[in-house]
Structure 1
């Protein structure tokens, strides 16, 4: 099973830069996209609806910001939108495809640029940790893909000095991921196969020369940890400020039977 996840900034801009030309040649079973920046009904071009995939979208209430999508080569048994987090679900931050015994999610976590936004971001992650604790007890496997807006370790921030105290690299945010991995037994799939120190997925300044962050993950539940075979961040082409994350798993998606 190959899953590609990508935070697009704008799906229209990414398409114009060749994202769909590239991704449809990668033999992915699932493609997760975040931060679409446009409502689904405004996507008129066939490029957004590749022939070999079943696409599903979850727009923000304003239809202009955020928005997430998941493209499935096989038909899922169900699609879930939102997490039941009240106003957060109005922002188009999560969509999930359910197959027989595995669920694949596309997540766009909140970002923060001031104290009020940081409090709200912390609230989201407190609720999300509780949610992941609950679903861990289900007899299902999970792969949650997306822009988590947190760099887990100092090695995941290229310019640590310049970004000291910046949201995304705060100790309390990094501790949240520590708890997720240590207490709840989830794992960062990329770090299961790649421990290099120069792997970044986001460049807020636009280029790939400095100020890189690794904030894009595929987080897997306990039984999937040993299924991770390969992981890479694709940086040969730039489709936006984020790089696509490619992960291969020794796992075959069950046929939906539809």
Structure 2
């Protein structure tokens, strides 16, 4: 059995104080994808990754972004969007984000599997939905929304290339992470009032719908929980949304069809020893692979 997990730690140093190490020990995953590690490599705390081998792209923005993949054995290959000699073209829409620590991909050494960790930009509202005085952020004319959708378009092509390259080597492929988009109404507790919210806009949801297909990528958790609301993986720190489980499902396992068929169990660890690791919770899946 292969146990794979993903979690947006919202800062590895804060997550470690809240019990990330205890979660690693209790869950004992074979592979973990991390997002928002938010720490320069030289400032990582001792044993930040619990003794796992860590492939890490911190990005150039101090205290922002950062993705990693933790494994029991050192991977045979590590690829980022800015790798020298990357063995396939990087989509032009991703080049502006190449040094931001948003995507990392590895080939496992012990089994034929390629694993990617991604952190999609949060984005913003398109220009026609921006109303001064009704937004937390200052209106930007839709600039953040446009950046997110450009990244999304490039990511789709990049993931297809990576999946095909993995298949050519006899490998299955999985991309995990914080996509900052909820796909279906089942993925947002308060979906009716969220229809014009960042992360649940029609264009964002259409992008995910196009990415997912029986021959392309499979949403593994939804395959195992077809009719269940959630299971949610993100809750605001504000108010009582966590207590009443009014969350969003925006952290995913998107797997190649061959790998997806082997998934036997999926769950969300809301707490470890009664403490939230982050505003996101780990999403874990057991694969009989």
TM-score normalised according to structure 1 size: 0.90
Q: Does 1:86 align with 2:95?
A: yes
Paired residue for 1:254? Answer: none
Change (3 A) 1:198 1:64: closer
Q: Does 1:129 align with 2:156?
A: yes
Please point out which of 165, 168, 189 is paired with 1:158. 189
In the TM superposition, residue 183 of structure 1 has moved relative to its aligned partner by: 7.4
Unpaired runs of at least 5, structure 2? 83-89, 126-141
Rounded Cα–Cα distance in structure 2 between residues aligned with 1:33 and 1:182:
25
Q: Per-residue CA shift, 1:163-208, capped at 9, x if unaligned?
A: 2211211111111111111375210111121131142110134541
Q: Give 2:203's aligned residue.
A: 172
* 1:237-248 equivalent positions in 2, closer than 5 A: 237=272, 238-248=276-286
Q: Which runs of 4+ in 1 moved over 2 A?
A: 82-85, 132-138, 182-185, 204-207
Other structure's SS at 1:6 match: strand
Conservation of the 8 A alpha-carbon contact between 2:230 and 2:249: no
In the alignment, the residues of structure 2 paired with residue 65 and residue 230 of structure 1 have an alpha-carbon distance, to the nearest angstrom, of: 32
Are residues 1:107 and 2:130 paired?
no
TM-score normalised by the chain length of structure 2:
0.81
**Is 1:4 paired with 2:8?**
no
Bigger drift between 163-172 and 207-216 goes to: 207-216
Query: Is the Cα contact below 8 Å between 1:186 and 1:220 reproduced in 2?
Result: yes
Larger Rg: 2
Q: Which digits, 9 at most, give the CA deviation of each residue in 1:27-57, with x for residues without a partner? A: 21111110012112101322x0423x21121
When structure 1 is superposed on structure 2, of 121-130 and 155-164 the one drifting more is 155-164
1:95 to 88, 104, 113: 104
Q: Please list the CA deviations of residues 135-170 of structure 1 after superposition, one character each: whole Å capped at 9, or x if unmatched.
A: 333323111110000101011011123322112111
CA distance in 2, matches of 1:185, 1:155: 22
| Shift in CA distance, 77/246, structure 1 to aligned 2, threshold 3 Å | same
Deviation at 1:25, TM superposition (A): 2.6
Q: Deviations over 1:191-235 (max 9, x none)?
A: 121131142110134541254100000100121121111100111
Determine the structure 1 residue equivalent to 2:253: 218
SS of equivalent residue, structure 1 residue 38: coil
1:203 aligns with 2:235: yes
Counterpart-to-counterpart distance in 2, 1:64 and 1:74 = 28
The CA distance in 2 between the partners of 1:198 and 1:148, in whole Å, is 15
